[in-house]
């Protein structure tokens, strides 16, 4: 295919075997890990965990990514559409509270084929960077019950410097509105999220103004009870990090962000313990559960 799935619209040729584009991926899925993941928000993990499928490659490729081994490093194993569908079923059989598709955008057609028309017994979660084309998201209507986009940036200079995407906010804000159009206000059952939009924002060191602007947009755009918001403190400096990215978020920075979120009236959602900023919260991408058992 000539790929224009994401806002990069790079027009790269991607086939079952040929990789291309910013995501540096073929058309068929490349998966680095499938697992019951305990470190998503409580409304997604249930008793056993979210059924996370970590896809390789990324259209955003943030310089501070904790999953750099798969987003930029190419770790992963190609799987067929049929095998991907089996992986979903295996995770459900293990007790997964949802099917958590992590960084799925560049594999949208194959994922849709794997999901098919089957009425899956748990919600399908689209766990993405937020850097999405609304036209691509419309293809997912009816197949995805929960959208979990990042809202990484509202400051263009920061988005350009860290992700090479100065246009990030215009695309992410439009994408989130499309996600909400599809799902409507979030719906919970017995403490688990069954449908809706859960927006994540990772507080970055030295970037509180960016965080405030992201919170402002959410508070201005949605009424209480419409979306969930997760304010994350887990930024972990990577070995090559320099400048302010070379340190953790301070207690004062995160406390200020939490207070600002509350003052803006956002009460539906989550904050994080600062102990979440640890390397052990990043899964080991060892290709387990990818090959046929």
When pLDDT is cut at 50, 70 and 90, the band that residue 285 belongs to is confident
Q: Cα-atom radius of gyration of the chain, to the nearest Å?
A: 18
pLDDT over 90 (residue 277): no
pLDDT 10s digits, 63-117: 999 888 889 888 899 999 999 999 999 999 999 999 999 999 999 999 999 999 9
Confidence class of residue 17 from pLDDT cuts 50, 70 and 90? Answer: confident
Res 204 pLDDT > 80: yes
Q: Please, what is the average pLDDT of the chain?
A: 93
- C-alpha separations of 103 from 30, 214, 293 in Å: 11, 21, 24
* Per-residue pLDDT, 283: 74
Residue-level pLDDT at 106: 97
pLDDT tens-digit map of 217-259: 999 999 999 999 999 999 999 887 889 999 999 999 999 999 9
Position 280 pLDDT exceeds 90: no
pLDDT band at 275 (very low <50, low <70, confident <90, very high): low
Listed in sequence order, the residues at least 6 apart from 105 whose beta carbon sits closer than 8 Å to its beta carbon are: 5, 6, 23, 59, 128, 129, 131, 132, 136
Q: Which residue has the tokens 């890990």?
A: 33
Token pair, residue 83, equals 């095998």
């Amino acid at each position: 295919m000539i790929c224009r799935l994401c806002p990069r619209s790079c027009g790269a040729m991607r086939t079952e075997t040929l990789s291309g584009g910013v995501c540096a991926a073929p058309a068929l899925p490349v998966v680095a890990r499938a697992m019951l993941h305990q470190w998503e928000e409580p409304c997604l993990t249930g008793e056993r965990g979210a059924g996370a499928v970590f896809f390789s490659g990324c259209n955003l490729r943030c310089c501070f990514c904790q999953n750099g081994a798969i987003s930029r490093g190419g770790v992963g194993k190609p799987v067929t559409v049929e095998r991907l569908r089996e992986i979903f079923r295996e995770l459900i059989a293990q007790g997964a509270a949802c099917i958590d598709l992590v960084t799925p955008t560049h594999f949208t057609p194959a994922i849709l084929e794997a999901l098919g028309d089957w009425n899956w017994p748990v919600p399908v979660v689209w766990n993405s960077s937020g850097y999405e084309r609304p036209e691509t998201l419309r293809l997912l209507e009816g197949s995805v019950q929960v959208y979990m986009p990042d809202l990484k940036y509202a400051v263009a200079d920061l988005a350009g410097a860290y992700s090479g995407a100065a246009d990030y906010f215009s695309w992410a804000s439009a994408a989130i509105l499309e996600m909400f159009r599809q799902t409507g206000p979030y719906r919970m059952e017995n403490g688990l999220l069954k449908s809706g939009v859960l927006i994540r924002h990772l507080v970055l060191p030295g970037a509180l103004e960016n965080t405030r602007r992201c919170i402002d947009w959410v508070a201005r755009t949605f009424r209480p009870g419409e979306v969930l918001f997760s304010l994350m403190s887990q930024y972990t400096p990577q070995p090559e990090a320099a400048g302010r990215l070379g340190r953790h978020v301070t207690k004062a920075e995160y406390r200020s962000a939490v207070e600002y979120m509350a003052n803006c009236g956002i009460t539906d959602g989550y904050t994080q313990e600062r102990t979440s900023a640890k390397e052990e919260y990043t899964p080991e991408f060892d290709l387990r559960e990818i090959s046929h058992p």
